[in-house]
Amino acid sequence: MVVNSVVRMRRGKARPGIGLALQSDVRPGKSATVFAGGDDAATAHLRAILKDYPPSSPSVALFQDGKPVYMLHRSDIERRDASQIAQLLTDAFHKFCAAETPATASRGRSRGPGGQWSERPPAGKSVVK
């Protein structure tokens, strides 16, 4: 789960770093974003789930079974460039996310016309597991 910031100075670090990390072979099965300062209800809901962590935007949280297992705070992001942020997240993905296998490769996708894979919109709560 990404708590995105609308502050311009972090746009060149957090977002590109997260994008790079999500290209990893091992990554969360689901991902979602809330915009702090843009979607107050979603941000408040997520912050209630992350009540044991101080509010931070931008930030990234990984969840297993609905519980946070990893948190990358603003202070971790500010002192790093995009590739360093990507490496931190990729390391966390390898630690907390199961590798995608042929049996799970279709998770979150469906076959469209002509047998091509297409992304399905996420259903239910948008929490990374």
Domain ranges of the chain: 2-119
Gyration radius of the chain's alpha carbons? 15
> What one-letter code names the amino acid at 24?
S
**Residues 6 or more apart in contact with residue 90 via CB below 8 angstroms:** 21, 24, 26
Mean pLDDT on 4-9: 65
pTM value is: 0.71
Q: What is Dmax (Cα atoms) for the chain? A: 48
Tens digits of residue pLDDT in 86-122 = 999 999 999 999 765 444 444 444 334 444 444 433 4
Collapsing DSSP states into helix, strand and coil, what is residue 116? Answer: coil
Query: To which H or E segment does residue 97 belong?
Result: none
**DSSP percent split of the chain into helix, strand, coil, nearest 5:** 35, 20, 45
Categorize the per-residue pLDDT at 127 as very low, low, confident or very high, splitting at 50, 70 and 90. Answer: very low
Tens digits of residue pLDDT in 11-44 = 578 889 999 999 999 999 999 988 888 888 999 9
Please name the fold of domain 2-119.
Answer: Glutaredoxin (3.40.30)
Burial of 104 (0-12, 13-18, 19+ CB in 10 A): exposed
